[in-house]
C-alpha cells in the first residue's frame, strides 16, 4: 500500500477523484482517504503545514495503515535561478536547514542519526522519475492543455536535494541563508525532511515530489501558489499511473 501525504488541501484535489472507490475517515486528527489508483491500494492524507504536523501524520499512519511506501507531494520554492515555475523536483536527499544542535552536533545534522542528509529510496525515486518524464512528455498537454502551457511552460524535471524548514521563504536574504546552510539544495519547502526522517527511522521507502511554485523571494504570489499546488496533484496522478503501467509496486 502506498501512503501519499500533502500539506495543503489544494495539493490533493486532483488525487481524490483518482481513487476508486474511495472511503473517508478521521484518524489521529487528520482527514484520511483510502481507495485504489489503477489497482494500487492508496491511503491519502492532508498532513497540514510544517515539520511537526507532517511528521506526526506520517508516524501515525505508518503505524496504523502499514504502508509499504510513502510519497510526499506538493510545491516548493526554487533556490536555483535555472529552475523555473512549474518545473518538478524529485528529492535525492532532504535536509533540515533550520536544525542546529551545535556545539553538540554540526548545523543541519540530525542528533543521534549522525547525518544531515535524509535520503529518499533511490530505486523508488528513479522509477518515479522515469514515469514522471513519460507523463510530462506524452500525457501532460493532452490532459491539461492550456493550463499546463501557462503554469509549466518549460515542463522540466530533475532529481535533486531539497531543504526543509519551518518558515515560508519569501525574501532574498532568507533565500540566501537557506542556500548557505544547504548548498546542494535546489528548492525549499516545509515538510519533506521531517517525513523523510520518520520514514528512515521506521524503515519505510520514501519519495518526495515538489512542483516549483515560486522563487523563494519577494515575488511570491499566493494566487499562483494555490494554482500550482493543484497542478502538483495532477503531476502525481499522471506519474503514478505511468509508474503502475510499467510494473510499479509489483
- 98, 189, 191, 214: the active-site residue: 214
Q: Which of 51, 52, 53, 2 lies closest to 31 in space, CA to CA?
A: 53
176: annotated active-site residue = no
SS3 13: coil
**Strand 118-119 relative to strand 88-96: parallel, antiparallel, unpaired?**
antiparallel
SS3 222: helix
Q: Which of 214, 215, 234, 235 lies closest to 223 in space, CA to CA?
A: 214
214: annotated active-site residue = yes
What CA–CA distance (Å, rounded) separates 59 from 89? 24
- 11, 121, 127, 189: the active-site residue: 11
- Which residues, listed in sequence order, are joined to residue 160 by a DSSP beta bridge? 91
Alpha helices in 182-249 (DSSP H): 192-202, 222-245
Catalytically annotated residues: 11, 214
Amino acid at each position: 500500500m502506498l501512503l501519499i501525504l500533502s500539506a495543503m488541501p489544494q495539493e490533493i484535489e486532483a488525487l481524490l477523484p483518482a481513487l476508486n472507490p474511495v472511503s473517508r475517515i478521521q484518524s489521529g486528527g487528520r482527514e484520511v482517504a483510502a481507495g485504489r489508483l489503477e489497482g494500487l491500494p492508496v491511503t491519502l492524507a492532508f498532513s497540514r503545514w510544517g515539520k511537526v504536523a507532517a511528521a506526526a501524520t506520517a508516524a501515525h499512519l505508518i503505524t496504523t495503515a502499514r504502508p509499504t511506501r510513502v510519497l510526499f507531494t506538493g510545491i516548493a520554492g526554487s533556490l536555483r535561478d535555472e529552475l523555473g515555475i512549474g518545473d518538478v523536483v524529485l528529492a535525492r536527499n532532504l535536509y533540515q536547514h533550520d536544525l542546529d544542535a551545535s556545539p553538540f552536533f554540526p548545523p543541519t545534522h540530525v542528533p543521534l542519526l549522525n547525518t544531515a542528509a535524509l535520503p529518499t529510496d533511490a530505486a523508488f525515486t528513479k522509477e518515479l522519475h522515469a514515469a514522471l518524464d513519460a507523463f510530462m512528455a506524452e500525457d501532460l498537454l493532452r490532459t491539461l492543455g492550456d493550463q499546463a502551457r501557462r503554469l509549466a511552460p518549460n515542463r522540466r524535471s530533475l532529481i535533486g536535494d531539497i531543504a526543509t524548514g519551518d518558515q515560508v521563504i519569501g525574501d532574498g536574504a532568507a533565500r540566501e541563508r537557506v542556500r548557505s546552510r544547504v548548498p546542494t539544495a535546489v528548492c525549499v519547502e516545509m515538510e519533506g525532511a521531517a517525513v523523510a526522517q520518520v520514514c528512515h527511522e521506521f524503515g519505510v521507502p520514501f519519495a518526495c515530489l515538489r512542483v516549483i511554485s515560486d522563487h523563494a523571494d519577494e515575488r511570491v504570489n499566493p494566487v499562483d501558489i494555490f494554482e500550482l499546488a493543484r497542478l502538483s496533484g495532477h503531476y502525481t496522478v499522471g506519474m503514478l499511473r505511468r509508474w503502475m503501467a510499467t510494473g510499479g509496486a509489483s
